[in-house]
Structure 1
């Protein structure tokens, strides 16, 4: 969190929190809802994309969660709760200096190690880590699936094609010589169990 934000919170500690003004899309784009009707209103606003790199970076630096899994942007002294259309972190596939795959969040942070993977009925891939729940962006989904390997080093094609796939353990195929590979279970997740299982609130 920025120093000036921390200072503003100390100076004005009782500013009420707001909802309905900010959302995060499934592709990791911040959207502003200018009339505060981002959710929970009969005339819910679709929102306007925030495109200023300076503002996007400011939101990203001051974005976090409370103890109940509600994510927010600390805008100076005011807490702005965020509607999450996918998950708290939207994940993209990047490569490290050795060309090995790694995950990065929509805010540009490294993500992981992943401790759990889930597939939902629509084929979306979610993850869990110490940073919180993530959703692999749709444009990178096929590449992430290709980069995942079972504990035996096999790709996921056989597992995904089973009529009733059982849980397995997988890892990103990124461990190099001297690295310690991180295995994580992969299972199926019902849509109605998403928030409770992953520990976040989509509409706080």
Structure 2
């Protein structure tokens, strides 16, 4: 996490969290979801505007974390901006030597691989769980064929519970009982 973010959190500790405004698709792209995008429907049916500003994307990725409930967020100064996930918290890039890096640029060690009923490939790593980028399936298939990674089959609906992540913090928040 950036030092300037830590300083802002200390200076303004009670800033409300933000939900529904940021999305991450299954290819590692970030989307800003304004009021109009949110009113048009949930992520990813209504994605919003693709972020293209390199410095902003780098800032988001350096300050991308998760809370104790498995909800992923971007710490934007003193405010947590919870992320709507199309698929998983990480999108893995795999090179020809089977090295793995997340969409945020962090390298990881693979602990296991999962295939869902639609044939999508996911990796469980030392830093978290994510889907393999579609452009890297050839390298990933090679790792499986060479038995570098062993796979197990799991249903898509089982993945969030098994790997402790929440795809829609905004949706989870809507399901919470009202206080009072």
> Fold match, TM over 0.5?
yes
2:60 alignment partner, SS class = helix
**Structure 2 counterpart of 1:74:** 75
- Write the mapping of 1:49-198 to structure 2, written as runs, cut at 5 A: 49-94=50-95, 100-111=97-108, 113-149=109-145, 155=146, 170-171=147-148, 185-198=150-163
1:60–1:107 contact (8 Å) kept in structure 2? yes
Secondary structure (helix, strand or coil) at the match of 1:31 reads strand
Q: Is the 8 A contact 1:121 1:190 kept in 2?
A: yes
* Greater helix fraction, Structure 1 or Structure 2: 2
Cα deviation, residue 31, structure 1? 0.5
Q: Indicate if the aligned counterparts of 1:17 and 1:81 stay in contact, CA closer than 8 A.
A: yes
Counterpart CA distance in 1 for 2:56 and 2:160 is 28
Does the C-alpha gap of structure 1 residues 101 and 128 become closer, same or farther in structure 2, counting only changes over 3 Å? closer
Whether the 8 Å CA contact 1:19–1:36 is kept in 2: the answer is no
- Per-residue deviation, 1:37: 5.1
Q: Structure 1: state its 5+ residue gaps.
A: 150-154, 156-169, 173-184
1-side partners of 2:98 and 2:117: how far apart? 26
Larger radius of gyration: 1
* TM-score computed with the length of structure 2 as normaliser: 0.86
Deviations 1:104-139, CA, capped at 9 Å, x for gaps: 11111112x211211001111111122111110112
Runs of 4+ aligned residues of structure 1 deviating over 6 Å after TM superposition are none
Unaligned runs of 5+ in 2: 170-180
